[in-house]
Amino acid sequence: MGILETIKSRRSVRTFEELPLRPEDAKKILEFVIRVENPYDIPITWKLLDAKKDGLSSPVVVGTDTFIAGKMSRVPHAEEAFGYTFEKAVLFAEELGIGTTWIAGTMNRDAFEKAMDVSEGEVMPCVSPLGYPAKKMSLRESMMRKGVKADSRLPLGEISFEGSFDKPMTEDAAGEEFNLIEAVRYAPSAVNKQPWRVVLCRDADGCRAHFYEKKSRGYNDGKWDIQKIDMGIALCHFELAAKEAGRNPSFEISDPGFITPNDTSYVASFRI
């Protein structure tokens, strides 16, 4: 499948077949994520964890004992860098037929951080189980998906704009960039809040996509912004779709200075 098809077909998996992750699959995923570079050049340490061995648990996961986790220094842009890198691993796992789900709060975090040897000044943002999806979801999983409307997405004109925030994007106006925005639109996010906003600006030099975070209350404690992890996922999706389309996306942080809606702030841009 192409990257957009992979993005659209993937779903969060919390119910797994009672089968251990095959060693060759575990090796492929770990080797892959270790090689992934992020636009912020922030290093991340990755490990595969065994729930039984390390005393780990998550009340929303059934059927697998394998988890992947990453830790990093708590530095500026750590959230975006982690979201970008972890999502590449998630999509790679999807291509292998391995289920994943982002977990930040529904786990015994102290045990996970101990297993990851998280030290002062470091953070372990999220983890994911790894396993083979069960043919049928658990009742709890079905209810969770229903509660956050997991399969719904905001319309194109609510998350993307042409030239400024005053002009909602249409499919015709998106043109060659439509699939790139669709890749962003179908990104996963915490409680399906979909905080990304994208302004496309075209000129004689090409096209720039400026990414903004639409903030929701309760996701930023002043030290850590969970929704910036979602922004990293959105950046990842856009870049992958652009590359697949034969474009040459160039990452930059250069705030264009647009007037923005309330609770909306600039994050980063791609020039394509």
One-character DSSP codes across 60-113? T-BS--EEEEEEEE--TTHHHHHHHHHHHHHHHHHHTT-B---BSSSS-HHHHH
Closest C-alpha among 82, 99, 80 to residue 91: 99
pLDDT tens for each residue of 145-180:
888 787 789 999 999 999 999 999 999 999 999 999
147 domain-assigned: no
Query: 220 and 173 in one domain?
Result: yes
Query: 177 and 202 in one domain?
Result: yes
120 domain-assigned: yes
Which CATH number covers residue 9?
3.40.109.10
Q: Could you tell me if 153 and 194 are in contact, meaning their C-beta atoms sit under 8 angstroms apart?
A: yes
Who has greater pLDDT, 132 or 150? 132
Query: 60 and 104 in one domain?
Result: yes
Which CATH number covers residue 175?
3.40.109.30
Does residue 32 carry a pLDDT above 80?
yes
150 domain-assigned: no
Q: Based on the structure, what is the number of domains in the chain?
A: 2
Rounded Cα gap, residues 238 and 143, in angstroms: 30
149 domain-assigned: no
Who has greater pLDDT, 204 or 15? 15
Query: 107 and 77 in one domain?
Result: yes
81 domain-assigned: yes
Q: Tokens 């250069």 label which residue?
A: 254
Among residues 98, 115, 140, which one ends one of the domains?
Answer: 140
Read off the pLDDT band of 223 (50, 70, 90): confident
Query: 190 and 120 in one domain?
Result: no
Query: 136 and 7 in one domain?
Result: yes
Query: 100 and 38 in one domain?
Result: yes
Query: 120 and 84 in one domain?
Result: yes
Q: Which residue range is the domain that position 98 belongs to?
A: 3-140
Query: 171 and 133 in one domain?
Result: no
Query: 107 and 36 in one domain?
Result: yes
When the pLDDT of each residue in the chain is averaged and rounded to a whole number, the result is 95
Rounded Cα gap, residues 87 and 125, in angstroms: 13
65 domain-assigned: yes
Among residues 140, 175, 210, which one ends one of the domains?
Answer: 140
10 domain-assigned: yes
Query: 79 and 54 in one domain?
Result: yes
Query: 130 and 197 in one domain?
Result: no
Does residue 43 carry a pLDDT above 90?
yes
145 domain-assigned: no
SS3 label, residue 34: helix
